[in-house]
Amino acid sequence: MHSYACFSVERGLVMALFGKKKRTLISHKPDMNALPKHIAIIMDGNGRWAKKRHLPRTAGHSVGSETFRKIATYCNDIGVKYLTVYAFSTENWSRPQEEVSAIMSLLKKYVLEAIDSVEKDNIHLRFWGDRSRIPKELLELMEYAEKKSETMTGIFVNVCLNYGSRDEITKAVQKLAGAVRAGELEPENITADMVSESLYSAGTPDPDLIIRPSGEIRVSNFLLWQSAYSEYYFTDVLWPDFDERELDRAIVSFQNRSRRFGGVEAKK
């Protein structure tokens, strides 16, 4: 009894020490051989970043757009295959007119740069969202950038612009209902894959990791269908302050999760 008690105390000590050692050993560097294939980011917190500095909200959007460039470059460099970013939602039109205009100008600036750089950087750029409300000049540039980048084989960058997941799903339902009305499809033959293929994300694997900075713990109408088994990562860091190290942290967190997809065993 006595020796057993001793053994237990010793074992406890060893465990405590080992446990401590193990914690300090947790790497902040991602395993580059097990990267999430598809990372999606809700680029939030620009307004609060500006407010903290007594700057106009638009200044936050401007720095936030630089963060996007930096993170897209980093993802491309490390070999992430798909990056999807939420840039402007179907609900964001309700913001003051000058803020909306400033965001559209920043997007135009980005698209113009992209037109010059997508081939050099091997980026396949696409825009997800309802195009009917996008200013004509910006829309033409978007379409030109998409065309110019469509044969690129590096990272796929999907910019969600006037994007809302409910709107996306509604449009998919309308499309499938149209096929039913045309007699091309029986309602009972509609499959989940057909729904997936009717979304803006058709052909893109579902996101493995969805990151939301800024401290908000909500989804705000982003990729509701596609995120069925995504891993979420929330951080208080505001988007303009987000950097490569923060992305590393998110990826390390992702790599320490056990994804079971409803089963018992973890799946890669």
Rounded to whole angstroms, the Cα distance separating 258 from 138 reads 42
According to CB under 6 A, which one of 68, 82, 86, 200 is a site residue for ligand IPE?
Answer: 86
Task: Establish if 75 lies at the interface with ligand IPE (CB under 6 A).
Answer: no
Please count the residues of this chain forming the interface with Mg ion, following the rule CB under 5 A. 1
Task: Establish if 213 lies at the interface with ligand IPE (CB under 6 A).
Answer: no
From the list ligand IPE, Mg ion, none, partner contacted by residue 211 (C-beta under 5 to 8 A by kind) = none
Q: How many CB atoms lie within 10 A of CB 125?
A: 25
Give the contact letters, 27-56, x = binds to Mg ion (CB under 5 A), - = no. -----------------x------------
Rounded to whole angstroms, the Cα distance separating 171 from 174 reads 5
The packing angle between helices 97-121 and 57-78, to 10°, is 20
Task: Establish if 86 lies at the interface with Mg ion (CB under 5 A).
Answer: no
Rounded to whole angstroms, the Cα distance separating 132 from 141 reads 14
CB of 47 to Mg ion, least distance (A): 6
Closest listed residue to residue 129, CA positions, set 89, 156, 94:
89
Please confirm, yes or no, whether 236 is among the known catalytic residues: no
Task: Establish if 246 lies at the interface with Mg ion (CB under 5 A).
Answer: no
Give the contact letters, 93-112, x = binds to ligand IPE (CB under 6 A), - = no. ----------x---------
3 state SS for 162-214: EECHHHHHHHHHHHHHHHHHCCCCCHHHCCHHHHHCCCCCCCCCCCCEEEECC
Q: Which residue's C-beta sits nearest to ligand IPE?
A: 47
Chain positions contacting ligand IPE, by CB under 6 A:
42-48, 86-89, 92, 103, 214, 216, 218, 220
Chain positions contacting Mg ion, by CB under 5 A:
44
Residues marked as catalytic: 44, 92
